[in-house]
Amino acid sequence: MSAFGRLLRRLRVPTAVLAGLVLAAGGVVGTAATPARAATSITLNGTSGGRTFDGVGAISGGGGNSRLLIDYPEPQRGQVLDYLFRPGHGASLQMLKAEIGGDTNSTSGAEPSHQHTRSDLNCDRGYEWWLMEQAKARNPNIKLYGLAWGAPGWIGNGNFWSTDMVNYLVSWLGCAKQHGLSIDYLGGWNERGYNVSWYQQLRSALNSNGYGSIKIVAADSDWSVANDVNSNPSFASAVSAIGTHYPCGYRSSQATCTVPAAAMSSGKPLWASENGSDDYNGGAQAMARGINRGYIDGRMTAYLNWPVVAALTPNLPYPTMGMALASQPWSGAYSIGKNTWVMAHTSQFTSPGWHYLDASSGYIGGNRANGSYVSLKSTNNSDYSTVIETVDAGSAQTLNFNVTGGLSTGTVHVWSTDVGSANPADHFVHTTDITPSGGGFSLSVQPGHLYTLTTTTGQGKGTATGPARSALKLPYSDSFDGYATGTEAKYLMDWQGAFEAVGCGGGRSGKCVRQMSPQKPITWDALTDPHALLGDVSWGNYTVSSDVMLEQAGYAELLGRAGGHDYDRTGGQNAYRLRVSDTGAWSILNSNTNGTVTTLARGTTEALGTNRWHSLALTFSGTTITAAIDGATVGSVSDRTWAAGQIGYGTSQGETAQFDNLSITPGSGGNDGGTTGAIVGVGSGRCVDVPNQSQTAGTQVALWDCNGGSNQQWTNTS
């Protein structure tokens, strides 16, 4: 997600529902709702110049948005992966950017570091290695791209632009090699500017460590880096591509994509190295414009959508963004978004290394409102594909094509998507084949559509579907004994810090979950104390209990009824917390997304000390909240703020506490807890929202991304 767009992150970008018309092509005439305009002539010229196409893809990370996918059961997990990565099946992604974890929140969660401390190294942590392996298994030609959002605090004593960070990236590449992964591209620090000498140092380190083939992308921020590329030859030689974020506007229509002259004249490939941040269905129209117009307006040769999949629970930021929704591993439910099929209109008909044909790309009739088209030719210099979007067109248009310059005059296969339709049957349809006559053919294109014309074959549309959504049933428990060291417990999502399976301490056998980050990280977002979340946002009355062991002075927490979470302003969360310290001090806390933490009850019990196991429990029954330590009730309060939500583990900053034997048992009375909470749609995963936080009578509410804001909190008055 873009830092540039924070002030706009709740901007509503309405999805227009456009009436799709019937395709008419190659003499097969359909019924049009409105008369076609005068025909537009387009020459497809294989001798045209044009830049090399680098690919379209998506981003895993920035952060935690792929977390729950690995916990899906088969066959659903494999089906989602097929839709994302398998050629000729779905999105068919040509590039995957993966976060280089840093134990710190990077939007919707934190991703674990391969080196929590200078002397620590574990190349099997997290799920990005697994995801890249799965992508490569399905498409050996997919390009891999690594980028950091934050880093462990030991790096450069808190300085990202340091030799430590260069060495950290080199060690990450060593981990990739252990996993049989060859990284193609490497970036610096996501949306945090750049340091010229650091990039030069990174280039030198890559060359001297056997990674000379890896290309550096700078600077995953804005276009300002182009000025230094142009003025500094050493910097220019270190950088292989210029990548900028949201060059067509943050969460915009992507109707216009602006690139400054300095970038255009740099001699470097120009990439939209992060775009999107849109709903997995609602972003389709913008993406359809942006992939085409990014090249027409700015000669950008790569387009990466953030993120790849929405595999996170609906209370976290940006819960439905991506190519697909996969937020319920316990039910196996998933949904493939319209964004997938828009991406497929480019990815299934091209390959990195193809060339754009500048003379065969542009706006229909020279008018942006009519739509756009881009043409690319294969490395065999014969096959070609032309992608046409008519998202904003007002009526049908006839396009007359003339094929020349050595391009194939064989059969043209036509695929289409009605980007205004919510019916999957209207997405990515092989509509007709056209046989050119005398090197020419015609096609009638309908408004609100995306088309691909191609002489290639092998395209396809997967047919698998997921089961219905359902809540995670209680009781739920986990002893953590079945996990490999360094992995994350099922369904447990890091928000800050790194919670992973280790051998238990304190004389206990088996495996426990330990918070692994021993210091404040180099952050990307608002810093909070480490915590991780698990469960269903609909849980209301229940008891969560767990064993806990503090390894040093500090505190540990059990969270309950955890809901909406802020990430960029305060890092606060709507939740109740039982906090206990090594001294025996305890408190029941009420926190919210504004960053306010209110003490509901407090006291002192026998000192918990360090390296000794204790049991904690937090019970919710209606408006009554009860805390227990080692089986004895220490406090009970009445509070009506939060009605339902997840459970979680938390620690003080740098506290490497351990947790074991998690148990969540249902209470009585169903979900009749507190009276205030979000209303989350079972099917959509979105919250009922008051647009723009309006307080005007008669304001119409809407479904929107759950963000924990006060305009998404509702009071039950019955």
Residues classed as catalytic = 191, 274
Buried b (16+ CB within 10 A) or exposed e, 10-41: beebebeebebbebbbbeeeeebeeebbeebe
Q: Evaluate whether 36 touches 22 at the Cβ level (below 8 Å).
A: no
* Element (DSSP H or E) covering residue 237: helix 233-238
Please state, in angstroms and rounded to a whole number, the distance separating the CA atoms of residues 511 and 516: 14
Give the tokens for residue 459. Answer: 């395209």
Give the tokens for residue 398. Answer: 């006839």
Nearest to 109 by CA among 355, 315, 279: 315
Please state, in angstroms and rounded to a whole number, the distance separating the CA atoms of residues 234 and 200: 7
Sign of the dihedral defined by the CA atoms of residues 470, 684, 317, 307, in that order: positive
318: left (phi over 0), alpha (psi -120 to 50) or beta: left
Q: Evaluate whether 400 touches 444 at the Cβ level (below 8 Å).
A: no
- What's the alpha-carbon Rg for the chain, to the nearest Å? 27
CA distance to 174, 421, 569, 582, 650, per residue, from 590 (Å): 44, 43, 18, 21, 14
Who contacts 346 (Cβ-Cβ below 8 Å, separation ≥6)? Answer: 56, 291, 303, 387, 452
Judging by DSSP bridges, how do beta strands 658-666 and 542-549 pair with one another?
antiparallel
Please state, in angstroms and rounded to a whole number, the distance separating the CA atoms of residues 425 and 423: 5
475 in helix, strand or coil? Answer: coil
Q: How is 144-172 classified by DSSP, letter by letter?
A: EEEEES-B-TTGGGG-SSSHHHHHHHHHH
Name the maximum alpha-carbon separation found in the chain. 91
CA distance to 54, 96, 134, 202, 658, per residue, from 145 (Å): 12, 6, 15, 15, 34
Q: Evaluate whether 72 touches 491 at the Cβ level (below 8 Å).
A: no
CA distance to 95, 138, 269, 424, 460, per residue, from 463 (Å): 23, 17, 36, 10, 10
Q: Evaluate whether 288 touches 278 at the Cβ level (below 8 Å).
A: no
Q: How remote is the C-alpha of 32 from its chain's centroid?
A: 38
Please state, in angstroms and rounded to a whole number, the distance separating the CA atoms of residues 323 and 343: 9
Q: How remote is the C-alpha of 79 from its chain's centroid?
A: 18
Nearest to 84 by CA among 158, 42, 134, 38: 134
Who contacts 438 (Cβ-Cβ below 8 Å, separation ≥6)? Answer: none
Integer distance in angstroms from the first to the last C-alpha of the chain? 39
Q: Evaluate whether 602 touches 585 at the Cβ level (below 8 Å).
A: yes
Please classify residue 93 by burial: count the beta carbons closer than 10 Å to its beta carbon, then call 0-12 exposed, 13-18 middle and 19+ buried: buried
